[in-house]
Amino acid sequence: MKVEIRLPELGEDAEEKASVSRWLVNIGDIVNTGDDLIELTTDKAAFTVPCPQNGVVVELLVEEGDEVVAGDPLCILES
Amino acid sequence: MSSQIEVVFIEGLCPFQKAWTLQRERLEHVRRGTMPNALFLLEHAPVITLGRNSRDEHVLASSNELSRKGIEVVSTDRGGDVTYHGPGQMVAYPILNLRQWQKSIRWYLRSLEEVVITLLDTYGVSATREPPFTGVWARGEKVAAIGVGLRDWVTFHGLSLNVNTDLKAFELIVPCGLYGKSVTSLQKILGKSLSMADVMERFTEIFCRQFSANQPKIF
């Protein structure tokens, strides 16, 4: 089954925009819950977004430099 | 969970890589709850570090010049642009699980600024924020730089405050990528050098007060 992974709320800074710094996984990678998927930056902070479930990465929907907000699709996993 | 903060003073000039490794190891412990939050305080051996938003052209010195001066350039996993660390500069690396305070990067950055502003006030130096930039300014020049990383809401990297720093070193870079904004130190402002031990002691007290005043949320 294909599952779209979306950017979760960035804590209490809900309206915050973040910029994609780099992917930490590649297409074809097996990922587990809690693995770091992607690194984002806001202002002076860089942070990683953990994977919410197990699966295989089949598609990356954003690339380096893209701006994202909570709810935006990041990638597709086959689980 | 406890919001206890263990303060770790590192003696001598700490190589950047060593401090980076210490932070990452501690971060994993704090994340798993196997060790308390930490605050590392230290001075670095001379180094130029790049953040995730750095541009190569913000390092002005040639690689030849840098290697002649023995200054390494390191790409790091913090936010922000290029900065310099070296002797006479206080570096603070808080490893805090923000879940115990507020899950807000913005709140965390403003809290770090507040600690520095309060600290400088104890030396009679009036310091300010310069929105939209992050950091602390005094007399129109930047005195403290901030760049952080978070993993699973646990912080690493942090802030650097120029106490007795050789400010000439900042001529090698465009600090924080901000053209036309110069950098200052407490030594320059006060006209005398300060005891680093004293600065670290005051910083620790104010930091712990700032972060314990915000009680952890209980769910």
Q: What is the mean pLDDT of residues B117-121?
A: 98
> Residue B35's pLDDT is what?
95
CB B162 within 8 A of CB B123: no
pLDDT at B1 over 70: no
The DSSP letter of residue A70 is T
How far is A37 from chain B, CA to nearest CA, in Å? 11
B14 is annotated as an active-site residue: no
What global pTM score does this model have?
A: 0.92
> Residue A21's pLDDT is what?
94
CB B85 within 8 A of CB A49: no
Taking contacts as CB-CB distances below 8 angstroms, the residues of chain A near B105 are: 10-11, 13, 16, 42-43, 45, 47
B134 reaches A (C-beta below 8 A) = yes
pLDDT at B14 over 50: yes
CA angle B154/B159/B164 to nearest 5° reads: 155
Q: Out of B50, B71, B136, B176, which one is annotated catalytic?
A: B176
Contact check, Cβ <8 Å, A47/B80: no
Band (pLDDT 50/70/90 cuts) for residue B217 is very low
Q: What is the pLDDT of residues A34-58, one digit of tens each?
A: 999 999 998 799 999 999 999 999 9
* Both tokens assigned to B187: 């030594």
For the domain with range A2-78, which CATH number is right: 2.60.40.1180, 2.40.50.100, 3.40.30.10, 2.30.30.60?
2.40.50.100
Of A34, A36, A43, the CB nearest to B134: A43
Domain B5-212 CATH assignment equals 3.10.100.10 = no
Mutate to test the interface with B, among A44, A48, A51, A67 (most CBs of B within 10 A): A44
Please count the residues of chain A: 79
Exposed/middle/buried for B142, CB within 10 Å: 0-12, 13-18, 19+?
buried
pLDDT at B159 over 50: yes
Taking contacts as CB-CB distances below 8 angstroms, the residues of chain B near A34 are: 152
Query: Which residues have CB under 8 Å from B29's CB, separation 6+?
Result: B35
Q: What is the pLDDT of residues B92-109, one digit of tens each?
A: 999 999 999 999 999 999
Q: Which residue of A has its CA nearest to B102?
A: A12
Q: Cα separation of B107 and B110, whole Å?
A: 5
CA angle B54/B64/B70 to nearest 5° reads: 80
Band (pLDDT 50/70/90 cuts) for residue A13 is confident
Contact check, Cβ <8 Å, A47/B150: yes
Query: Which residues have CB under 8 Å from B136's CB, separation 6+?
Result: B113, B116, B117, B120, B127, B128, B129, B142, B143, B144, B146, B161
